[in-house]
A and B are shown apart, each in its own frame.
Chain A
């Protein structure tokens, strides 16, 4: 399925433009897209750092988790939208390098899990501001989710960098 998507993307007009390295204007598309991508990663990382450390019991702000959640979660969604768009530009430019690459696929699976965790934090906090502090079980669940989330976010950044090193599957 991903092979088909990759083959199809390579036939598109956008691919021809994004992959054209013979003109300065089109050659610049990828490094500029990557730079905006890194900015997006920065916005996400500080937001998930604040939320998850607070859940781990490290007081990174004077506000409650509910307040932090209300303030920081919209920044995560906004940055993820930018990350998706710039990531799409890079994928359209080099479909095989991304889609046919196990590091990219692992990155997407990790991303799906952290998006789910972030969504869960927000939904439960909206319903009940004290949700993650209600009982010892809840607190330890929150701490487990926060640890997993932090590890996965760092894994996502690592995988993002490693895509440049791990060749596409068809190269093997």
Chain B
């Protein structure tokens, strides 16, 4: 693991990202803009699942509207995020907020898998329920908490 990070650190791509005055801010802009869209789209689905907003909408239909945005933006955020990481891989893994951010993204993914494969099975019965059953509300609440924490960690990486 450590060898891999030091190897990345020594590549010419890493060198270019470190030296250039404009590449890093440009990557940050792409990363932040994409994360904003991930967050906005997923938060709206989460609020619906939690029964806190868009209560008159079908959960399935609303998710179909939002999730393409989430996935495309997540892919963009990941590509820009990896490039930001490549510039100083050793430094980033040593920042606790960075490690926490990665773990929180994995937890958000796990929460989504559980929801997709278990909780969503009976969606036909509560697709239009203003307040979905408790498992769905928990999934929505957890997702919101995880993603907000991802942004908190991301912001603090820049402060330490």
Contacts and interface: CB of A to CB of B under 8 A. Distances in A.
B32 A161 contact: yes
Interface residues of A, number: 26
Interface in A13-51: 31-32, 34-35, 38-39, 41-47, 49-50
A41 B36 contact: yes
**Dominant secondary structure of chain B at its interface with chain A:** helix
B65 A45 contact: no
B68 to A, nearest CB: 8
B40 A43 contact: yes
Interface in B56-104: 61, 65-66, 69
B25 A35 contact: no
A53 to B, nearest CB: 9
A46 B155 contact: no
A42 B66 CA distance: 13
Contact of B37 (A31, A46, A71, A158): A46
A12 B148 CA distance: 31
Contacts of B37: 42, 45-46, 49
Interface of A: 31-32, 34-35, 38-39, 41-47, 49-50, 60-62, 71, 154, 157-158, 160-162, 165
Given A35-B148, A41-B32, A49-B69, 19 more contacts: A31-B156, A34-B155, A38-B35, A38-B36, A38-B151, A38-B155, A39-B151, A41-B40, A43-B43, A43-B44, A45-B36, A45-B37, A46-B44, A49-B37, A60-B65, A61-B65, A161-B25, A161-B29, A162-B25
The 10 closest A-B CB pairs, nearest first, are A42-B40, A46-B40, A42-B39, A42-B36, A41-B36, A158-B29, A157-B33, A46-B41, A45-B36, A43-B40
